[in-house]
Amino acid sequence: MSPPSPRTPVELVLDGLSVGYGRSVHVLRDVSLRVPAGGIVALLGVNGAGKSTLLRTVSGTLALHGGQVEAGTVRYGDRDLTDAGSAGAVAAGVVQVPEGRRVFGPLSVEDNLRCGRLGVRGGRKSLQTALDEVFSLFPVLAERRNRPAGLLSGGEQQMLAMGRALMARPSLLLLDEPSLGLAPQTTEKIAELISEIHRQGTGVLLVEQNAALALELADHAYVLDVGRVRLDGPAAELAASEEVRRLYLGEEPADTPESGEATGGADASGADEAAGTPTLSRWER
C-alpha cells in the first residue's frame, strides 16, 4: 500500500513564534521549532499548552479561530507561511488533519475524499489517481466508498480524515490527536498507517495525547508548557526522561515531608496513602 505520492518535502521552521486570541489571550510565546524535510516530529504537552494553536498557525487556519500571529515567522522551505492562509499552506504542500476528524457526515466516503482535492490543481486523471492511491492505503474506505461518512466507526472516520488530507498530496502532514477516542487496537492500526505515510516520504508533525505512541513514531520531539518550548531532543531520549513525564502530564514533584511534620499525624498519612501516586495512564502503551 502507498499513499498518494507527496511533493518533495522541505524543512518547516518556526522562529520566535508568538500567537494570541484577541488582545488579552496569549497562547504561544517565542516558540521555535523545526521539522526536517521528510522527518516526523512529535509535539507533546498538557491540554491548553498551545499544541492545536501551533498547528492552526502552520496550516493557515488560525484566523478562522479568531487568532493572530503577534511575532515570529513560519517558513516552509523558501515559502513564508506566516500570513499565507490555508490556501497558501495547501499550495505549499502543508495539510492538516484536525482533531475530532471533522468528516462531512451526510456525504459519502468518496465525496469526502473528493473534498480533499478542492483548490488543488489537476484534472480528472489526477483526481482518480489520488483516489486509487488513498483506497490502496485504506482498503476499508474502498469497501465503504458509497456509505455516508457519519455511519463509519471512529477509527474509519479517522482514516477518512487522513485520506482526505492525502488527496492534496501534501509533503507535510499535520496530525492533531489522531488516536483521540479510539480503542487500543484501532490506535495501533492508525500508528501503522502514520508510519507507512512517513516511510513513503511525507513529513509529519504529530500532536498526540498518547506520549508513548508519539515518541515511538517520532524521530524528534518538543514539549510545550504554557505556550513555551520547555524541552526538545531525540524522541528516544525524551521517552526516558522523568521531566517529560512531569511536563506532559502536568504533574508537580510530590513533596515528602518528615513523618508527622505538617501532615496532621497518622490520619493525614493515611489519606496520602489512599490518594496514592499519580498514575501515568497515558504514558504506557
Residue 261 lies in a domain: no
Q: Which residues contact 143 (CB under 8 A, 6 or more apart)?
A: none
By percentage, how much of the chain surpasses pLDDT 90? Answer: 56
Residue 46 lies in a domain: yes
Identify the pLDDT of residue 120. Answer: 67
CATH assignment of the domain containing 204: 3.40.50.300
Residue 45 lies in a domain: yes
Whether the CB-CB separation of 18 and 70 falls below 8 Å is answered with yes
In angstroms, the CA 157 to CA 105 distance is 9
Q: How many domains does the chain have?
A: 1
Residue 131 lies in a domain: yes
Identify the pLDDT of residue 93. Answer: 93
Identify the pLDDT of residue 101. Answer: 73
Residue 234 lies in a domain: yes
pTM for the whole structure: 0.81
Identify the pLDDT of residue 240. Answer: 83
In angstroms, the CA 172 to CA 37 distance is 9
Q: Which residues contact 273 (CB under 8 A, 6 or more apart)?
A: none
Identify the pLDDT of residue 252. Answer: 56
Give tens-digit pLDDT for 222-272: 999 899 999 899 999 888 887 776 666 545 554 444 434 443 444 433 333
By percentage, how much of the chain surpasses pLDDT 70? Answer: 81
Identify the pLDDT of residue 248. Answer: 61
Domain residues for 231?
A: 12-249
Identify the pLDDT of residue 119. Answer: 65
Residue 277 lies in a domain: no
Residue 272 lies in a domain: no
Identify the pLDDT of residue 111. Answer: 93
How is residue 268 written as a grid cell? 493525614
Residue 196 lies in a domain: yes
Write out residues in the chain with pLDDT < 50, as ranges.
1-3, 5, 250, 254-284
- Which residue from 246, 239, 237 is spatially nearest to 277, judged by alpha carbons? 246
